A and B are shown apart, each in its own frame.
Chain A
Amino acid sequence: MSGSQGSRPAPGGGAGAARTGGREVSGRLPWMLVAPAVLGLAFLVLPLAGLLIRAPWSTLLQRLAEPQVLEALRLSLVSATVATAACLLLGVPLAWLLARVEFPGRRLVRALVTVPLVLPPVVGGVALLLVLGRRGLVGQWLEATFGVTLPFTTAGVIVAEAFVAMPFLVISVEGALRAADRRFEEAAATLGASRWTVFRRVTLPLIMPGVVAGAVLCWARALGEFGATITFAGNFPGTTQTMPLAVYLALETEPEAAIVLSLVLLAVSVAILAGLRDRWVAAP
């Protein structure tokens, strides 16, 4: 019985083998896949091309040198950098805790850490206002005790950016920690290193690529932050008006300025992507 079953499909199988074998394998691409793929590519690339085509190249430098543009650029760079530094200071230990210490509710904590990642930034801004605002839970106390108010200040911009960007860093560093060979840490322990020394002299250097990649992502996210910033810190030129806010505002009054500002942000993004690719992502 098995013999007759085995022999019957043979001719059909032979024809199938002929069709799939040989040069026809690399033949026609399925248009059902190629057409949407090309459309998708165009959808992603065309707007950027449009930005480049419509850019006022002749007056570019002049517009870039306008004090308001420079002010927004400076504020953006400073606040994103300070926010990234704050994220490193708090996020790396948090990632270490999540990756290396067993504690009850760890999965819940990890889920909570990633909430700002999917939360609409405006909602994040509202939440920050409720907690750190003048009448907020912690804000009230901050003002009464230290005389510090965060909303509508540059510090507020940094807080909003750090809130939105920190998950990028934590996730990246935690991934690096999980991927790192823990036996190096054991080797360090047998050499007499305390857990802090192990972290500082062995773990951190080993996961440095992950930390740098996380910091760059975090910085890029902070640089582009809009929703939480405008909600929590407002839109005051010189103190809280970062590049994305300036772009939005300029679009209503002076579209060409908006294009110039957008070009700057695009250039920064591409630079970051290129840097990540070459130095950290593609590295073995």
Chain B
Amino acid sequence: MTLHARLVVTRPAFTLDITLEVAPGEVVALLGPNGAGKTTALRALAGLLALSEGEIVLDGRPLHTLPAEHRPIGMVFQDYLLFPHLSALDNVAFGPRCQGASRAEARRTAAELLERVGLAAHAAARPRQLSGGQAQRVALARALAVRPRLLLLDEPLAALDAHTRLEIRSRLRRHLADFDGATVLVTHDPLDAMVLADRLIVIEHGAIVQQGAPGEVARRPRTDYVARLVGLNLYRGLGDGARIKVGELAFSTVEQVEGPAFVAFSPAAVALYRTRPDGSPRNLWRARIDGIERHGDNVRVHLEGPITAVADITPAAVAELDLAPGREVWASLKAAETHAYPA
């Protein structure tokens, strides 16, 4: 493990306490709602915030005893913080200069890095002349210019508009793949996390609530927050080896779980009926429509009843079933569409 860290930061009314292991070349995303402590964790790794307790060890060397300027890190800030009085080239050359490189050497390094991020033509531009996407790439080049062993990215795509974001995300992914040190990135956007990271760590209220490969986290959420992020209905229940009891409902599932269990299913897997359907669906409950909203090409129906759930159906189905808030419907779900796993 190249990075091993236990980060404890105590503040009035808030405590961050997480443990991180990041391998060389690995990209770990800290994902969580606002105020969960993601940025606090990143600032603690960077040395911009003192640890109340714990340690940071990088390549076997303790890092937490060093001030920020002596840590082998590179950091990309949320709004980039490019120095407004320096050109793009001098922004990137800033780090090498601080590490003792001569002016010419530092500029050579900077020029190479700008070339690598495709901005050689903008070397002389001041930050305010750059677009958001360009500024983000200069910020990345500046962070990489100090040849860090640990790269920290704070919401690297949050300041970009949707169109630029798509392009910059895939570029960033390529650059992160080329980087051989450890990378920790913070985001509240699940898509950014899924695309950029090899592993997700979900933080809520200053503690890790779930971690794993992006696919695994997306398939098997363990908190309501993660379920909402990945767009699944999630319930905690009790399995008896055949069914999983959630409140008054007993779910038939493909996987058999004994003891505390999670049941997850996609909103698209829920079918709605005005009258009680006959036949195959094995999970059936009576629900009241709480709200209806557009959701992409479909319509998202919020259901109240023995469980609170959302169902995605086509606009045609809404018209055909004459759905409206307050109306009673039957909701059904095939066992094959559910996913059950131990809690």
Which residues does A use to contact B, with CB under 8 Å? 181, 183-184, 186-194, 197, 201-202, 205-206, 208
Contacts and interface: CB of A to CB of B under 8 A. Distances in A.
Contact of A190 (B75, B83, B85, B99): B75
Nearest to A194: B69
Contact of B68 (A190, A197, A205): A190
A192 B69 CA distance: 4
Given A190-B48, A191-B142, A192-B146, A206 B84 contact: yes
18 contacts: A183-B81, A186-B48, A186-B81, A188-B83, A188-B94, A188-B98, A189-B48, A190-B73, A190-B75, A190-B143, A191-B69, A191-B94, A191-B98, A192-B98, A192-B99, A193-B69, A201-B94, A205-B85
Contacts of B47: 189-190
Contacts of A189: 47-48, 67-69
Given A190-B143, A194-B98, A205-B85, 20 more contacts: A183-B81, A184-B83, A186-B46, A187-B77, A187-B83, A189-B47, A189-B68, A190-B48, A190-B75, A190-B152, A191-B69, A191-B98, A191-B143, A191-B146, A192-B69, A192-B98, A192-B99, A193-B94, A197-B98, A201-B94
Interface size class of B (residues with CB under 8 A): 20 to 34
A192 B95 contact: yes
Task: Determine which residue in A190, A205, A206 has the highest number of CB atoms from chain B within 10 A of its CB, and name it.
Answer: A190
A201 B99 CA distance: 14
Nearest to B48: A186
A185 to B, nearest CB: 10
B69 A187 contact: no
B83 A202 contact: yes
B68 A186 contact: yes
Contacts of A197: 98
Interface of B: 46-48, 67-71, 73-75, 77, 81, 83-85, 94-95, 98-99, 142-143, 145-146, 152
B81 A191 contact: no
A47 B181 CA distance: 72
Task: Determine which residue in A181, A186, A205 has the highest number of CB atoms from chain B within 10 A of its CB, and name it.
Answer: A186
Task: Determine which residue in B68, B77, B84 has the highest number of CB atoms from chain A within 10 A of its CB, and name it.
Answer: B68
A189 B73 CA distance: 10
A152 to B, nearest CB: 44
A279 to B, nearest CB: 16
A194 B94 CA distance: 12
Q: Is the interface of A mostly helix, strand, loop or mixed?
A: helix
A2 to B, nearest CB: 31
B77 A183 contact: yes
Nearest to B92: A191
A162 B84 CA distance: 33
Contacts of B75: 187, 190
A110 to B, nearest CB: 26
B95 A187 contact: no
Task: Determine which residue in B46, B85, B143 has the highest number of CB atoms from chain A within 10 A of its CB, and name it.
Answer: B85
A101 to B, nearest CB: 15
Contacts of B152: 190
Contacts of A192: 69-70, 95, 98-99, 146
B126 to A, nearest CB: 12
Contacts of A181: 81
A111 B315 CA distance: 69
Those 4 A-B pairs whose CB atoms lie nearest each other, nearest first: A191-B95, A192-B98, A187-B81, A189-B68
A190 B94 contact: no
A184 B83 CA distance: 7
A197 B97 CA distance: 10
A206 B98 contact: no
Contacts of A191: 69, 74, 94-95, 98, 142-143, 145-146
Nearest to A195: B69
